[in-house]
Amino acid sequence: MSFFDILGLALRNLREAKLRAALTTMGVVIGVAVIVTMTSFGLGLQRNTVERFKNLDLFNEVQVFGRDLNTVLESQLDRKPEPASEGGENKEPKKPGNKRQAKSSERPLTDAALGEIAALPGVAYVEPTVRFSVYARANDRVRQELIGGVRVPNGASRFQHFAAGQMLGAKETDAAIVDESFISEHGFKQAADAIGQRIEFLAPPDEVGSLSNASRRNEGGAEQRASGKAEKEAGISSSPTRRADDTAAESDNTTAALGEATAETETDEPLTFFGLPLEDSGESSRAGGSGLVARTFRIVGVLKNEVEKGSGGNRRFRGMMPAANIYIPLRAANEWKATHRGMMEQVALQLARRSGLIDTEETEGYQAATVRVSDPAAMKNVVERLRESGFNVFGLFTELDEIRTFFLIVNATLGLLGGISLLVASFGIANTMIMSILERTREIGIMMAVGAEDREIKLIFFVEAAVIGLMGGIVGALAAWSIDKLSNRLAYQFILAPRGEPFIDFFSLPPYLWLGAILFAMAVAVAAALYPAARAARIDPVKALRHD
């Protein structure tokens, strides 16, 4: 007897008792619909949650920290007392120093180290964190702004949404993008007005010339001429791409200058800067102010402020990289940082060099960098490798695992609830099968008399049950799909739309879910037929054939 013969017999049996088969199948339909709907809701919840975090770059970025020079200095320099030391007391303060060192990485985050990290499998790119504050003038207003260096091209979601203009181009060296708060602080009416405008970064007069500025040479010729002193100093200085170590020699003078500057700016008067009126549009003030202009950038884009509704207003935290008001190309930011070092940093570097802690050629490296992976799944491995290489790492990668575990439990619970309804259906199947055997005892006896094997008798019942499972599964999956669609529709129409919120798909119905549910329904149905089938095979043909 071929499989098709058995299938034919099974289908014939179902047809003979259509209503009963339909009612039995109904139980499976409900069971599968409940399983699939519940689980698809759980999966939808998971997807929406993870997606939300992913959109914030919380799962595909981590921060690595380089060796913190201050920490190293505090713990190491005690051993090598510099000018006049305190002798034997230096062993005691070592303890807290060590503790802090545990927080800091063992390795400095130099350009070479960044290259090494970028070469790790799974790493999309590494972006060192270069941040500094500067007085920036735009639209004739000076404000203190936080500047950030940006790697171009950049995959961070922070740079996905622009109110006007676009992202920095790969080749642009003097372009900048700003955020919306910059726009309002500098008195632009709307974001689009700022596009193409200049931002001038101000610096103490004796630092102004320390960096020959390509942009200043290109644009604003009049200004250049006016600031003769700056021009001269620019002539003396060396290449524009000098790094921190090159400027170390000048540090002694600049430290003094910076000290003065900070002392005076503390008053924080918006209208004056170093005693010069800044917001006057008069020629004299422009000329005077321009003496402080160290570098000029052109605004090419305005970032949209990402305002998260109902979660405490404006959330600026996106991804692992700290936010800034103005973003300039990484290279320009590095150049600026090298020439306009903070006083404390300069002292730390000098101390480190003199103590022989680092070479005169060496820099302290970056404080931190953002490592972006191409796939969140690779994160674990990348983090492991980073730690092996001696870097400290911070990120939410463990939270992703925790979220997954949490949803695994949620989904399992939801699936289990659905499973219970399918269990109930399985009793219905068993019941139907036993009824059918009682009705068909004689028929089974006849089949045995003409040579049916036990296996064949059982198979007929299994196939019959599997057909019930399959039909119920398919209809149940379709029902679940309809429920999902309908729920989404209703939720949108009555909850989301009245609040002006966009459509959200609350469910996730991947093929493995409904296919799995159908297969599961078939398996449950066949399992329910195990006992009836065994009972059918045990029928005594003589007795079955005797009764009329």
- Report the residue number, 401 or 453, with the smaller CB distance to other proteins: 453
**Distance in angstroms (rounded) separating the CA atoms of residues 141 and 188:** 10
Both tokens assigned to 326? 């103005």
Task: Tell the smallest beta-carbon distance from residue 457 to other proteins (Å).
Answer: 9
Segment interacting with other proteins (CB under 8 A) among 67-75, 310-318, 346-354, 537-545: 537-545
User: Does 3 contact other proteins by CB under 8 A?
Assistant: no
Q: Which residue in 86, 92, 388, 548 binds other proteins (CB under 8 A)?
A: 548
Positions of E strands within 235-341 = 272-273, 276-277, 293-303, 326-329
Task: Please list every residue from 384 through 443 that binds other proteins, using CB under 8 A.
Answer: 442-443
Dihedral of alpha carbons 212, 208, 338, 176, sign: negative
| 407 and 51 Cβ atoms separated by less than 8 Å | no
Task: Tell the smallest beta-carbon distance from residue 459 to other proteins (Å).
Answer: 12
For residue 53, give the nearest of 351, 266, 357, 320 by alpha carbon. Answer: 320
Number of residues counted as binding other proteins (CB under 8 A): 23
Task: Tell the smallest beta-carbon distance from residue 480 to other proteins (Å).
Answer: 35
Q: Where are the alpha helices (DSSP H) in 56-103?
A: 69-76, 94-103
Task: Please list every residue from 14 through 33 that binds other proteins, using CB under 8 A.
Answer: 16
Q: Which residue in 447, 465, 467, 526 binds other proteins (CB under 8 A)?
A: 447
- Report the residue number, 15 or 171, with the smaller CB distance to other proteins: 15
User: Does 5 contact other proteins by CB under 8 A?
Assistant: yes
Q: Which residue in 23, 417, 438, 449 binds other proteins (CB under 8 A)?
A: 449
The secondary structure of residue 140, as a DSSP letter, is T
**Distance in angstroms (rounded) separating the CA atoms of residues 345 and 351:** 10
User: Does 534 contact other proteins by CB under 8 A?
Assistant: no
CB neighbourhood size of 464 (10 A): 28
Which is it for strands 141-150 and 326-329: parallel, antiparallel or unpaired?
Answer: parallel
Q: How far is CA 223 from the centre of its chain?
A: 44
Torsions phi, psi for 357 (to 5 deg):
-65, -40
Environment class of residue 541 by beta-carbon count within 10 Å: exposed (0-12), middle (13-18) or buried (19+)?
middle
- Report the residue number, 489 or 546, with the smaller CB distance to other proteins: 546
- Report the residue number, 68 or 464, with the smaller CB distance to other proteins: 464
Torsions phi, psi for 280 (to 5 deg):
-70, 140
Q: Which residue in 453, 489, 501, 504 binds other proteins (CB under 8 A)?
A: 453
Q: Which residue in 229, 455, 485, 489 binds other proteins (CB under 8 A)?
A: 455
Q: Which residue in 371, 386, 448, 474 binds other proteins (CB under 8 A)?
A: 448
Both tokens assigned to 545? 């054939």
User: Does 446 contact other proteins by CB under 8 A?
Assistant: yes
- Report the residue number, 6 or 521, with the smaller CB distance to other proteins: 6
- Report the residue number, 168 or 444, with the smaller CB distance to other proteins: 444
Which is it for strands 392-394 and 61-65: parallel, antiparallel or unpaired?
Answer: antiparallel
- Report the residue number, 42 or 445, with the smaller CB distance to other proteins: 445
Residues that bind other proteins (CB under 8 A): 1-2, 5, 12, 16, 442-443, 445-456, 541-542, 545, 548
